[in-house]
Amino acid sequence: MRSKPQAATASAVAPAAQPAVKPTATFVVIGATSEIALATIRKWRASFSETAWRIHLMGRNDAALAQLAPEFDATWSHYDTQMSPEAQVAALPDGAIDVCLCAVGYLGPQAQAEHDPNEAQRITHDNYTGLLPVLDCVAARMAAAGHGQLLVVSSVAGERGRRSNYYYGAAKAALTAYLSGLRIRLLPYGVYVMTIKPGYVRTRMVAGRKLPPYITARPETIARDIVAAARRRQPVLYTMWAWRYIMALTRLIPERLFQHLRRF
């Protein structure tokens, strides 16, 4: 289901005293109900205000999308990783896609997944395999257009398997590896791919969990970092910045010692 595209608001013939009509560009957000995604759209629009952004929201909660759309003067469409590849591709808006942010993610109940293959598969699908049809299509369209920015939220959880969330972590590791290869493939086409690796972020995904305050960010902090990294064309973003060093150390811990760090 798609809402009517909004009519253009800028007048083609502006009076001489008015500022020039802004160039328009399309920003597609997959997983648009994510708190990180919403903070990023707001920050992006404010930071790149020289462009008139046509925003298109995609997600599985139609009522929430319809409620969010007016704030961004956005169109929206239904998207779920459980849809067929063809339906996923059809959910994308027609025309050029200049920027695409994907913030889909599903942490899932680790304990249940350990005994329930359907849940284990769901976590893998919603964080990785289920995203491939839509990400591949966006990548192909950007490559054909010779430009575009594909910004995808992965996680530091993909850097090393942990007792507490290894289905989620494994799926994010696969997503990170996919993005690494995709970035290299798309370089000659002028398409920029950013892998975003947040640490802990205070959103509903981790609601009710006790998180270490000094390394737990607000969605607005992640959004600020994403915009700054996009300006620099940074390929991989750790956010908050301390996570780059935390994960470097985590990767260095010998496996035999890592096995005993039960808190992980």
What are the residues binding ligand NAP (CB under 6 A)? 31, 33-36, 59-61, 79-82, 103-106, 126, 153, 155, 198, 200-201, 203-206
Adjacent-strand bridge partners of 53: 25
Q: Which is nearer to ligand NAP, 26 or 155 (CB)?
A: 155
The strand pair at 75-78 and 99-102 is best described as unpaired
Shortest distance, position 199 Cβ to ligand NAP, whole Å? 6
Catalytic residue among 79, 128, 168, 192: 168
Count the Cβ atoms, other than its own, within 10 Å of residue 148. Answer: 24
Q: Which is nearer to ligand NAP, 96 or 132 (CB)?
A: 132
Q: For this structure, is 167 an active site residue?
A: no
What is 204-254 written as a DSSP string?
GGGTT----GGGEE-HHHHHHHHHHHHHTT-SEEEESTHHHHHHHHHHHS-
For every residue of 101-154, which 3-state class applies, written as one string? EECCCCCCCHHHHCCCHHHHHHHHHHHCHHHHHHHHHHHHHHHHHCCEEEEEEC
Which has the closest alpha carbon to 103: 121, 70, 81, 72? 81
Q: Which is nearer to ligand NAP, 92 or 104 (CB)?
A: 104
Shortest distance, position 77 Cβ to ligand NAP, whole Å? 12
Q: Which is nearer to ligand NAP, 2 or 189 (CB)?
A: 2
Q: Work out the angle at residue 118's Cα, subtended by the Cα atoms of residues 114 and 121, and round it to the nearest 5 degrees.
A: 80
Please answer whether residues 132 and 181 qualify as being in contact, where contact means their C-beta atoms are separated by less than 8 angstroms: no
By beta carbon distance, the residue nearest ligand NAP is 105
Shortest distance, position 46 Cβ to ligand NAP, whole Å? 19
Alpha-carbon separation of residue 50 from 5, 101, 173 (angstroms): 21, 19, 36
Q: Which is nearer to ligand NAP, 131 or 186 (CB)?
A: 131
Number of H helices, E strands in the chain: 10, 9
**Which residues are part of the catalytic machinery?**
168
